[in-house]
Amino acid sequence: MLKCVFRLGESENVRDFAGFEISGHAGYGTEGNDIVCAAVSSCTMLVCNAITENFGADAEVKVEENRITLRLNKRSSDAQKLISALYQHLETLSEDYKNIKVTVI
């Protein structure tokens, strides 16, 4: 199961994301051939790179075995829009692939 946890900022506005953590495996296919894991990994890394490299937002990204975490150190409307877009994309994927769980805390 892929677990996608999105963290809200202090304002508790649904679109005021402060970061996210994506962990686990989809188990949709064999290792190296899992299209669900590949899709989630690709879009997640795109968002992480856009936030840090293209928009220069103050964010901390950790890439570990089976886990990608991003935490905004300072509020950034561009970064929050990208995180919101990732949230919407993963929600859509989770409708088609039941081995993705998306939550907001």
What is the secondary structure of 13-72 as a DSSP string?
Answer: -TT-EEEEEEEE---SSSTT--HHHHHHHHHHHHHHHIIIIIS---EEEEEETTEEEEEE
Lowest-pLDDT choice from 13-27, 43-57, 62-76: 13-27
Distance, CA of 33 to CA of 59 (rounded, Å) = 31
Q: Is the Cβ–Cβ distance between 3 and 18 less than 8 Å?
A: no
Q: What is the mean pLDDT of the chain?
A: 94
- Residue 85, domain member (yes or no): no
* Domains: count for the chain: 1
Quick one: average pLDDT of 81-99? 96
Supply the pTM of this predicted model: 0.92
Which of 13-17, 25-29, 52-56 has the least mean pLDDT? 13-17
Any domain includes 51: no
- How many whole angstroms from its chain centre is CA 79? 12
- Asked if residue 10 belongs to a domain, the reply is yes
Domain containing 16: what range?
Answer: 1-23+63-72+101-105
Q: Identify the three-state secondary structure at position 101.
A: strand
In angstroms, rounded to a whole number, what is the distance separating the alpha carbons of residues 105 and 102?
10
Is 105 a member of any domain? yes
User: For residue 97, what pLDDT is reported?
Assistant: 94
- Structure tokens given for 80: 């929050």
Q: Is residue 40 part of a domain?
A: no
Q: Is residue 19 part of a domain?
A: yes
Comparing CA positions, the residue from 100, 103, 92 lying closest to residue 25 is: 100
Is 96 inside a domain boundary? no
Rounded percentage of the chain residues whose pLDDT exceeds 70: 95
Residue 31, pLDDT score: 81
Query: Is the confidence at residue 13, as pLDDT, over 70?
Result: no
**Does residue 12 surpass a pLDDT of 70?**
no
Question: Is 95 within a domain?
Answer: no
